[in-house]
Amino acid sequence: MKIALFSDTYEEGYGGVTVYVRELSQFLINQGHTVKVFVWESDKLTNEDRKICETFPGMKVVKEVRGKIGIAPASMFLKTKKFAPDLIHNHSQYTMGWHAVAISKILKIPLIHHHHTYLEKMTHYLPAILRKTERLAHHSMKSYTKLFFNSGNMVITPTQVMKDYLKSVGVRKTIKVVPFGIDLTRFNKKSVEKDGDFTFLYAGRFNEEKNIDLLLRYFKDFSYGKDVKLKLIGSGPEEEKIKEFIAENNLKNKIEILGWKRREELPLYYSSADCFITLSDSETFGIVILEAMACGLPVIGANAASIPELIQDKINDFLVDIEDESSVLDKMTLLYKDQNLQRTFSENSIKIAHTFDKRLIFKKLENIYFDLVRNFHG
């Protein structure tokens, strides 16, 4: 089968969507399919990336976000027509996605939209006039979501809660729940030497919607008189604010920014920590949470969006109300003090993560491809 993947980014190290598209493209190629990734140009694409990528000029509209948008209908149409895919699997909710919509209709190619981004949690990127009117901003995002996801033949979303959300805003197309999967041969518990301090770990983009400001504030209050550290893997527009917070509160010995790490390095960092923590309430899934679990980490996560479907409260994690600082600190204290609890949660994290083997997950997606193409032409 020939499969076209449309995405805003393909460069390594840019969030969960890129991780997913890269992993999916390699799986499909290994299965014997022919794959092309249609993506905006980036100087961070490697020579190997360019062997399967068709790139188009793009530009940043929101300076805080590395992702791009662009308009290239003629060249994208011609390159798609030349490739002649059996199916388009779109991973963009912006202009790249609308290119996929137009091309699929003109060339009569079945189109799957993949729901990766919870737009209602991204209103801080909207123009000021919309940001000042919260109800208008949320209404705009819901209306856009409904319009966009009704424009294809099918929608894939990683969790049931996101499926329910799409249905609630008026998406009437078939919606299939297919979670993300991980490579368990890469992400597993490694034998590493720890530095003695109890270490909380966050991995992901340093964006406003990740609520890193809350995490820093809570950790500052928690850390007094304790041998604890918070390590942050990633980068993003909030990085300077993070550095300022560390300096202003004299926490340079407690909080460490590790920067972006290559995926092959991540298992060692996960394995050297004691607990993964995220207070993000905008996750449509959370690949890094699953990776950390596979490496044996207990989790403290926001009781919001899709996180409760990924982790199990009081089994391998604690779900917390991110607005209730005392509750968050209580759960951090429990894991910090109780080694038996740490061990139990660690063992359960590994067991749960093994149900998300990417070979099984992507095989399910491949079968959806075959069914859609067959029914589309049937």
CATH number at residue 258: 3.40.50.2000
Give yes or no: residues 340 and 308 share one domain: yes
Please give the pLDDT value at position 283. 87
Task: Decide if 336 is inside a domain.
Answer: yes
Q: What residue type is 87 in one-letter code?
A: L
Give yes or no: residues 28 and 154 share one domain: yes
Task: Decide if 186 is inside a domain.
Answer: no
Separation CA 368–CA 364 (nearest Å): 6
Task: Decide if 193 is inside a domain.
Answer: no
Give yes or no: residues 247 and 333 share one domain: yes
Question: What's the number of domains the chain is made of?
Answer: 2
Please give the pLDDT value at position 92. 96
Give yes or no: residues 74 and 147 share one domain: yes
Q: Which of 287, 293, 286, 340 is nearest to 316 (CA)?
A: 293
Give yes or no: residues 75 and 156 share one domain: yes
Give yes or no: residues 309 and 287 share one domain: yes
pLDDT tens profile 315-370: 999 999 999 999 999 999 999 999 999 999 999 999 999 999 999 999 999 999 99
Instruction: Write the burial class of residue 178 (CB in 10 Å: 0-12 exposed, 13-18 middle, 19+ buried).
Output: middle
74: Cβ–Cβ under 8 A, 6 or more apart, which residues? none
Contact 350, 294 (CB under 8 A): yes
Please give the pLDDT value at position 265. 95
Task: Tell me which residue range forms the domain holding 8.
Answer: 2-181+357-377
Task: Decide if 192 is inside a domain.
Answer: no
Task: Decide if 89 is inside a domain.
Answer: yes
Separation CA 258–CA 202 (nearest Å): 10
The residues of the chain scoring below 50 in pLDDT are: none
Separation CA 331–CA 68 (nearest Å): 39
The structure tokens listed for 164 are 């329910």
pTM, 2 dp:
0.89
pLDDT tens profile 21-77: 999 999 999 999 999 999 999 999 999 999 999 999 988 665 555 567 899 999 999
Instruction: Write the burial class of residue 275 (CB in 10 Å: 0-12 exposed, 13-18 middle, 19+ buried).
Output: buried
Separation CA 116–CA 1 (nearest Å): 24
Give yes or no: residues 164 and 258 share one domain: no
Task: Decide if 190 is inside a domain.
Answer: no
Please give the pLDDT value at position 125. 54
Backbone φ and ψ of 28, nearest 5°: -65, -40
Give yes or no: residues 291 and 149 share one domain: no
Please give the pLDDT value at position 124. 55
